[in-house]
Amino acid sequence: DAMVIQNPRYQVTQFGKPVTLSCSQTLNHNVMYWYQQKSSQAPKLLFHYYDKDFNNEADTPDNFQSRRPNTSFCFLDIRSPGLGDAAMYLCATSRGYNYGYTFGSGTRLTVV
């Protein structure tokens, strides 16, 4: 089945130690998104790629970066994780407007 896969499902990292979360898709969708969801809060868009075009949300901290080396893969890099970055990180893809998103299962990040 075509899908969106996030690895790892659970990630524990040390305070200040760089960490990378990965997302891959077999749907061949143009657009890939990264959302951050903290407990009992709405998922918050960090950035998205339309093909190779990177779009950063205005309030996304500089600590968060992303790479999309090809259509299938997208990475979220957190350069210096703080305790406040502990959250569920959701990757999603879309083939266009009004088609909605297909989500991965998420990566739960813990910062110790």
Partner 1 sequence: DQQVKQNSPSLSVQEGRISILNCDYTNSMFDYFLWYKKYPAEGPTFLISISSIKDKNEDGRFTVFLNKSAKHLSLHIVPSQPGDSAVYFCAASEDTGGSEKLVFGKGMKLTVNP
CB nearer to partner 1: give 18 or 87.
87
CB nearer to partner 1: give 18 or 100.
100
CB nearer to partner 1: give 7 or 17.
7
List 60, 63, 71, 102, residue binding partner 1 (CB under 8 A): 102
In one-letter notation, the amino acid at residue 39 is S
Which residues in the chain belong to E strands, given as ranges?
4-7, 10-13, 19-25, 31-37, 44-50, 53-56, 64-67, 73-78, 87-94, 102-103, 107-111
Point out which span in 1-9, 13-21, 62-70, 79-87 binds partner 1 (CB under 8 A). 1-9
